[in-house]
Chains A and B, each alone.
Chain A
Amino acid sequence: MIYEVFRQERKGQPFVHGGSFHAPDQAFADAYAREFYARRQESVALWVVPREQIVEIDEFPDEFDLKYRRVDGYSIKARLAIARERAGSATSPGTDGG
C-alpha cells in the first residue's frame, strides 16, 4: 500500500506534501514516516494517509473561456500598451508588471 505524508515544519503552519512510500499497514507507515520525515526534527507533526483514501479531482472544464473567474484575472499588459498609444504617450511604458 502507498502512503502519502504531509509535514508541518512549525506549529501553526500549513501541512505540505513531503513524499510517499510503500508500507504494509498503518503501523508500519507511521514508523516509516517518523524515520523519513521527522528523524532530524524537521517536522513538528505529520499526516500519514493511505493514498487510496485521498480523493483526487483533476477535471475542471472551462468550455466557455470564463477566465475572468480566475484569481489571476486578465493580463492587461497588451491592452495597456494599446491604451497608452491611443493616448498619444510617446514614452515607452516600460514594464508595468502586467
Chain B
Amino acid sequence: MTRPRTDLLLELADDELILGWRDSEWTGIAPFLEEDVAFSSIAQNEIGHARALYELAARDLGTDADVLAFDRRPEEYCCAPLVQAGLVGDWAGTIARHFLYEAADAVRIEALKASPDAELAGIAAKIDREETYHRLHAEMWELRLRDEPRFRAAFEVRWPLALGVLAPDLRPRLAERVGREEVEPVERSTPGTEFEALWNEMTMVRRSAPTGAQW
C-alpha cells in the first residue's frame, strides 16, 4: 500500500459516517415500526464504526475524531457518491444502496483483515463482526424486493456507484459477489451540492459554538 493509511481510513470513515447519517433520516418514518428500530440501530452502528476509524486516523494526524468528523470543510470529505444521496421516501433506493454498500464493504473489509498493518486488520475484524448482521439484514430485504421493478431500477442506477466505493483492484470481487458485469464506475470526487446541504445540517450545532468548545 503506497497511499498513507490515513487516506484509506478517512475514505472508510466518511463512507460510514455519511451512510449512517443518511440511513438515520429514516428514523420515525420507516415502512413499519420494527424496521424503523432495526434500521436506526444499523445507522447508529455505522456511525460507531466511523468513530473508531476517525480515532485511528486522528492518532496518526495528531487531532481528534470530532475534528475529523465535523470540522472539515465539505470539499475535504472523501465519501463515495453512493452514500451521499438523500433517499428519504425512496425505500427501494435505500435498500438497493444498503445492499450494494454492504456487499462492497464486505469486500473491502475482507481485504483489510488481511492487511500487514495489524491495527488496520484489527479494526477491520472488529467492524466485520457487526457488519455480518447488517449484511444479513440487507440480504433478507434484497431477497424480498428483488422482483420489484422499483427495486430493480434502483439497483441499476446504483451499480456504477457501488463499484466506485472500492479501489480498482477490488472491483472484480464485488462484481463476482453480486453476480454482475463490471461497468464504468462512478469514482470518488469532490462532494457536490447535495452533500453540502447534508454537511450544513450535520455540522450546524458544532459550528454554533466557538472552536474547541467542550460539550
Tell me the A residues contacting B by CB distance below 8 Å: 21-24, 27-28, 30-32, 34-36, 39
Contacts and interface: CB of A to CB of B under 8 A. Distances in A.
Q: Indicate the member of B34, B133, B143 with the most A CB atoms within 10 Å.
A: B34
B140 A35 contact: no
Given A23-B34, A24-B144, A35 B41 contact: yes
Main secondary structure of the interface of A (DSSP, over half): helix
Contacts, number: 31
**Chain B interface mostly helix, strand, loop or mixed?**
helix
Nearest to B42: A35
Interface residues of B, number: 14
A31 B32 CA distance: 14
B37 interface: yes
Given A24-B144, A27-B140, A32 B32 contact: no
B169 to A, nearest CB: 32
A14 B38 CA distance: 26
B157 interface: no
19 contacts: A21-B33, A22-B33, A22-B34, A27-B136, A27-B143, A28-B34, A30-B136, A31-B38, A31-B133, A31-B136, A31-B137, A31-B140, A32-B34, A32-B35, A35-B37, A35-B38, A36-B34, A36-B37, A36-B38
